[in-house]
Amino acid sequence: MIPRYSLPEMAALFTEEARLEMWLEVELLAVEGWAEVGAVPREVAAAVRARAPKVTPELVAAVNDRERVTDHDVAAFVDVVQDAVGPPEGSWVHYGLTSSDVVDTALCATLTRAADLLLDASAALVSVLKARALEFMDTPMAGRTHGMHAEPTTFGAKLALWCLQADRDRSRLGAARDKVAVGKLSGAVGTYSNIDPRVEDHVCGALGLTPVPATQVIARDRHAELLWSCASAGATLEMIGTEVRHLARTEVGEVEEAFGAGQKGSSAMPHKRNPILSERLSGLARVLRGYLGAGLEDVALWHERDISHSSVERVVLPDACLLAYYVLRRGAGLVQNLVVHEQRMRWNVVEGSFGLVFSQPVLLALVESGMARDGAYRIVQRDTRLAWEERRPLRTMLEADPEVTLDAAALDRAFSLERALHHVSRFREAIEEVEG
């Protein structure tokens, strides 16, 4: 992933040094596991750990140099580690293992830690959405369908629905984390032909992983589920960003992204304050969805394994974790710092719509008065069109229409924001149950 979208705490998990450190820890734990079952003297296991090399840029370079000879990254790594440990103890490094025992277990350990960061970021997003939903629960605004005014809602209700969706994303990330927190050290086709299952138990226990049955590789539906949870979180941030972009348009003017001191919205037009973060989140969500497609294609491997998934995962798994973490963190900041123009929201829903958002309660009031529904619909439809074309309040048009027999009290009820929003408390109750 390019540095622009890489936050340091997540990026640290996917450096070359971090990858080899995790491989080394799996190898050392495996030797210690052999010592636990009595196959290797304990002093040998202690010597292997004591003389194991530190993973430095120089060691990474040495492994890369060796790989130019072996054309096999794990074999090159094992050669370098064994040389560093020295004989005879070094010969026990990688004993009974196949490459995927190390790579897959190390990868799952890394992805588990990445998922923990994603869960932290997801929880922060849920928390800020909940707080701002409660803040604006009673702020009326126009609800829109097909991009057009529909009926009144509140900005808090909108935020509450985002909060509930983000909370579902958090649940999906938690489930994916559990699915990927697994390991295997069971040999070339997963039958433990040359390794004691207790070694697997020891390694996985030390890494906080659950041993699972496998072929030579851990089943890739687990990794695909993590990619799905990342893509889902991205889709939620895209939804939020898209809505912010619409509401920030000049002619709507209901929200705007925070604008920092010294910030420039355009290199050419000084007045511009563009929703750049929302647009960025929308774009990155597309990339996350692409990673999911690649991950799903990795599920079907030949027989007990092939390596068609390997090259894909070197790109999509780190990048998906990095991007998902980035959009979650930046999305929380977007919501936290969002500037909300409450007066503009109220104006748009009442004066700006000429009262058209109250057409349904007017229709229902006419039906309650004894008028046939279709006839009532046609009257309200006609008057709303005239109100819009003449830029006059709908209520004025209705009061002047001889076919409308509603009295002032009935019209007051129909055009009441309080009546329209009197059940908004259900949104508040829903998010009060959300942890955050």
Active site (catalytic) residues: 146, 266
Contact call for residues 289 and 237 (beta carbons, < 8 A): no
